[in-house]
Amino acid sequence: MSEDAYTRPVPEPSRDTRPYWDALNEGRLVIQECAGCKRLRHYPRPVCDVCYSMDVEWRQVSGRGSLHSWTVAHHPFHPGFKTELPYVLATVDLEEGVRMIAQLRGVAPDEVAVGLPVQVAFERATDQLTLPVFRKREGK
């Protein structure tokens, strides 16, 4: 889809965050890693809150995680999402120790539970935008 036809909010990446979005467009999930102390942090930001280093590396992560909490959206607060209702918004603890949120695909709302194992996947929204989603992960 071209950007013009897309009716949902689009991110406006900054110099601090653009590598995250660029990687999604390549089908990779990357998280900031402090070049000083090697801690991962999310969402992207310029300073490590432990060692205060401003040197950043980007680490590709597994995309495996488990559900920390969730909501099921039933009301259209934005017209762009009206046709998608109801949808599950999954707050997920990634195995690498950071938290992220994305829509959960392919799981009935009454099947959702804390600890549900999930795997990240990628959905192209426009020519310039890819969004992460989660799917239920089989096995362990």
The two counts, helices (H) then strands (E), for the chain are 1, 8
36 sits near Zn ion (criterion: CB under 5 A): yes
Minimum CB separation of residue 54 from Zn ion in Å reads: 9
Of 6-14, 43-51, 70-78, 95-103, the window that binds Zn ion (rule: CB under 5 A) is 43-51
**Which of 31, 34, 92, 116 touches Zn ion by CB under 5 A?**
34
Work out what residue 37 binds among Zn ion, other proteins, none; the CB cut-off runs from 5 to 8 Å by kind: Zn ion
b/e for 92-116, b at 16 or more Cβ within 10 A?
bbbebebebebbbeebeeeebeeeb
Q: How far is the CB of 55 from other proteins (least distance, A)?
A: 21
How many whole angstroms from its chain centre is CA 7?
A: 20
The DSSP string of 73-130 is E-S-SSGGGGGG-SEEEEEEEETTS-EEEEEEES--GGG--TT-EEEEEEEEEETTEE
**Nearer residue to other proteins within complex by CB, 10 or 23:** 10
47: contact with Zn ion by CB under 5 A: no
The residue type found at 62 is S
Task: Kindly tell me which residue out of 29, 30, 31, 48 binds Zn ion, with binding defined by CB under 5 A.
Answer: 48
Tokens of 94: 């990634």
| Placement of tokens 């999310």 in the chain | 42
- Which residues of this chain interact with other proteins, rule CB under 8 A? 8-14, 17, 42-43, 45, 68-75, 77-78, 81, 84, 86-87, 89, 91, 99-103, 109, 113-114, 125, 129, 131-133
Kindly state whether residue 30 participates in binding Zn ion, applying the rule CB under 5 A. no
**Does the footprint of Zn ion cover residue 31 (CB under 5 A)?**
no
SS3 29: coil
